[in-house]
Amino acid sequence: MTHGQLDDRRILITGAAGGQGVAVARRFGAEGASLALSDLPGPALDAQVDVLRAAGIRATAVPADVRDEREVTAAVRDAVSFLGGLDVLYNNAGVYWPDRDAPVDRLDRHVFDEIIAINTTGVFLFAKHALPHLLASSDGVLLNVASVAAYAGDPDCHAYAASKGALISLTRSIAQRYGEFGLRAIVICPGFIATPMVDWLLQDDEAAGRVANATALRRIGQPSEVAAVATFLASTAASFVTSTEVVVHGGLVK
């Protein structure tokens, strides 16, 4: 019988129906975790659960709009009921709207509020309602997904940068407040990763080339590479890693 890095770990993943969420869910499941997947309700989320189950992975869907606290509360409740507890929350849900986001002098207030509601408030709500269950685990882990923009900024998408920058302070604060109870809280900061979120970039060979050449490794990252890092951080092997940012950007030079 083979053993995985996440054997017996009970994990709730948000933003699980696409992009990095898909890669992380499949890697977590392959490493032995039981999964509750959350995203907006629909065929994409259902299909992801079906794929995992077909691979012999214990998984269920707990749909929710991260902006709605009632839906978040229900999703966490249903996840805990299915999993029998919760060891890891992987807060991955988020949006990047380069066609609507803008520098502050041109940024519409409604767009700013929507991006903050999804990328920051949604993370807060899931963390808030998952926290009691994570604290009941022998090694509870909160993994919040931000971006290199969280610390480097984004010259064109100021709402996105603000929404992700807030996650560093929030995560460090959670780690410091609840660390004495065994909770670990970490921010993962990916760089440019080949997901549908950056299709606009990948479809422009010149722009994609500029981004690739701005990294030390001279390429754009793959979702599987973020998933590999997340797997380690979610595992008990990372038991002394907390209150920090883990950057996965291929040596991006801003």
Q: Are the C-beta atoms of 6 and 231 separated by less than 8 Å? A: yes
Choosing from 90, 96, 160, 178, which is the catalytic residue?
A: 160
In the chain, where do the E strands start and end?
A: 10-14, 34-38, 59-61, 88-91, 141-145, 184-190, 244-248
CA 53 to chain centre: 21
Q: Are the C-beta atoms of 171 and 187 separated by less than 8 Å? A: yes
- Whether residue 160 lies in the annotated active site: yes
Buried b (16+ CB within 10 A) or exposed e, 29-42: bbbbbbbbbbbeee
Of the candidates 5, 1, 47, which has an alpha carbon nearest to the alpha carbon of residue 232? 5
Would you say how long the chain is, in residues? 254
Of the candidates 61, 131, 49, which has an alpha carbon nearest to the alpha carbon of residue 89? 131
Radius of gyration of the chain (CA): 17
Rounded CA separation 15/185 (Å) = 18
Q: Which residue has the tokens 């749909």?
A: 63
105-112 long-range contacts (CB < 8 A, ≥24 apart) are 107/158, 107/159, 111/159, 112/158, 112/159, 112/162
Cα distance from N-terminal residue to C-terminal residue, the chain = 46
| Active-site amino acid positions | 160
